[in-house]
Structure 1
């Protein structure tokens, strides 16, 4: 399943980019399907910044899939690489359950858009039913399809809500300095 979202934020690209990169844990309040984001690590090397965050989701699991999986599927670790010279973030998500079965990766481009910033988020999520263990073989393809659809439908709104959160965060910061 492809992930594709564009978001516009009426603030300069360097500010929006740095806010996304450095203030991520502060946006949980703007994402109702996310319970918590924990910062794990930051490394800088060769002009790149490598970040690791743990995410804890709170969305619903489809009823058919609930018999075989639990809410831990909605927890994941995000590994991102930020290239300040290109204003891009490449990311990969590793779920805490079915790690071998779930492939989710993408890239965000932060582009100048008049007086603001356009964020183009592109990625994909693929679930390999052959890698789902401990479930009846006859159901693994169906479960994989349901989970892929469910996660895919949650990722896009999370990106949108995060963009709205960044916008609100920057508006409040601007108001407090005025």
Structure 2
């Protein structure tokens, strides 16, 4: 499933980029379905690149049909990100804590100056869900449950990816 989002917010491009890169934990109150973000590792590779590993802890209503198979750690994920500061984008990859094969989600987020104190945030990603990888679900049930499991994962991850600009704007409005 292709995920795209494009929004313009009224803040200078480097302020927006640095907010997203350096203050993800502070953005939690402004993001739907997120309980916490933990910065696990940060490595400055050179003057241009920074690698981050963040753990995102989500919360969402689990569909009744698959509730006994979905564990809380399945609503959390690892975010591997390489920030290219000069080029103003981040390449990212998400994976679950519990089972790395449950889904794959990779993409890039670009930060583009579109005017004085105006930044376009353009996110493009690809999400693939593999419901048959949920432990304890027999294959015949996984096939029937596939739409619900996919819907649950899409509902958990995509609002946070697509609402990033709104969260950053609200955070900067409150903290600028």
Once residues 131 and 86 of structure 1 are traced to their aligned partners in structure 2, the CA distance between those partners, rounded to angstroms, is: 37
Q: Which moved more, 1:136-145 or 1:27-36?
A: 136-145
Once residues 5 and 16 of structure 1 are traced to their aligned partners in structure 2, the CA distance between those partners, rounded to angstroms, is: 16
Give the Å deviation of 1:141: 2.7
Give the structure 1 partner of residue 82 of structure 2.
81
| Cα separation, partners in 2 of 1:166 and 1:75, compared to 1, 3 Å | same
Once residues 115 and 146 of structure 2 are traced to their aligned partners in structure 1, the CA distance between those partners, rounded to angstroms, is: 42
Give the Å deviation of 1:75: 0.7
Name the count of aligned residue pairs.
174
Which whole-Å deviations, capped at 9, do the CAs of 1:26-76 have from their partners, x for residues lacking one? 011112411111111100114310001111111111121213212221111
Give the structure 2 partner of residue 172 of structure 1.
174
Which whole-Å deviations, capped at 9, do the CAs of 1:102-157 have from their partners, x for residues lacking one? 11111101111223011111111112345444321102233343222222233232
CA contact (8 A) 2:20 2:168 kept: yes
Give the structure 2 partner of residue 51 of structure 1.
52
Q: 4+ residue runs of structure 1 moved beyond 6 angstroms?
A: none
Give the Å deviation of 1:160: 4.1
Q: Which moved more, 1:78-87 or 1:67-76?
A: 67-76
Once residues 119 and 38 of structure 1 are traced to their aligned partners in structure 2, the CA distance between those partners, rounded to angstroms, is: 23
Flag structure 1 segments of 5+ consecutive residues without an equivalent.
none
Give the structure 2 partner of residue 103 of structure 1.
104
Alignment pair present for 1:156 and 2:170: no
Give the structure 2 partner of residue 147 of structure 1.
149
Alignment pair present for 1:69 and 2:58: no
Q: TM-score normalised to the size of structure 2?
A: 0.89
Once residues 141 and 76 of structure 1 are traced to their aligned partners in structure 2, the CA distance between those partners, rounded to angstroms, is: 24
CA contact (8 A) 1:43 1:50 kept: yes
Once residues 137 and 158 of structure 2 are traced to their aligned partners in structure 1, the CA distance between those partners, rounded to angstroms, is: 28
Q: CA RMSD in A?
A: 1.7
